[in-house]
Amino acid sequence: MKTLAKEHNFLQMDGTENTWAVIPPSSSGWRQFSTNGAISSTYFDLAGMSMKEKTLFFEASGVQSTSPPATDAGGAAGDSLVVLDVMTSTPLTDNELAIFFSLGNFSGSTITWSETVYARQQVWARTLNEAGLSYMVLLNEEQYGSMSPTASDRVYSYRVVVAAGVLGGPGATSFFVYPARHILRAEAKEEPDHEYIMRLLRSYELQQEPDVD
């Protein structure tokens, strides 16, 4: 059994209402993908296991972080963030991630349930009761991964953040999302030849899209 980890850096976004920009250098590794969204991407390198003709079976997965998201002193009730953490057996473009952000791995999305190793989507906000705090409170969380085994050389790790301010009123001019660590606990096992060959073929087919590191 092995525990694998990949980290996503601190994110700061500055702006107003629904227009937000990724601020360097603190937001190293993040890139803008919409007027109010940012993406951080990396991958788990599993080539050493696949070279030994073994399949990776996942036992557990999750996300570690230090603190809830926060806003600057100007934050007000209604400021909110949506945070998506996802690990997949197939690479996703920014456009595909935007669709996944809205539809998950359900009907009409870009990848299936079996290709989604782990996914967690959270809604964070400052409500009337906590408007005096800089930290946001968690309003909702959904998880919808399959933990399906893979013979792929990689598992792709993404973090997507979409920010929203208070329309037509006072609100934050900065959002802060603290670093996070994606965790996979897995074991490499040998399968019967025919099962392994079919799984390897499926992994190969899934990775025939352009792969941008």
Render pLDDT for 186-208 as a digit per residue (tens, 0 to 9). Answer: 888 776 554 555 545 555 555 55
Which residue from 38, 68, 58 is spatially nearest to 138, judged by alpha carbons? Answer: 68
- Count of other CB atoms within 10 angstroms of residue 212: 8
pLDDT tops 90 at residue 64: yes
Average the pLDDT over each of 82-86, 160-164, 202-206 and give the range with the smallest value.
202-206
Q: What is the pLDDT averaged over residues 119-146? A: 91
Give the DSSP letter string of the chain.
-EEEEEEE--EEEEEETTEEEE-TTTTTTEEEEETTEEEEEEEEE-HHHHTTT-EEEEEEEEEEESS--EE-TT--TT-EEEEEEEEESS---HHHHHHHHHHTTSTTSSS-TTTEEEEEEEEEE--STTTT-SB-EEEEEEE------B--SEEEEEEEEEEE--TTS---SEEEE--EEEEEEEEEE---HHHHHHHHHHHHHHT-S----
Q: What is the pLDDT averaged over residues 110-125? A: 94
Q: Tell me phi and psi for residue 97, to 5 degrees.
A: -65, -40
| pTM score | 0.86
Q: What is the pLDDT averaged over residues 152-179? A: 85
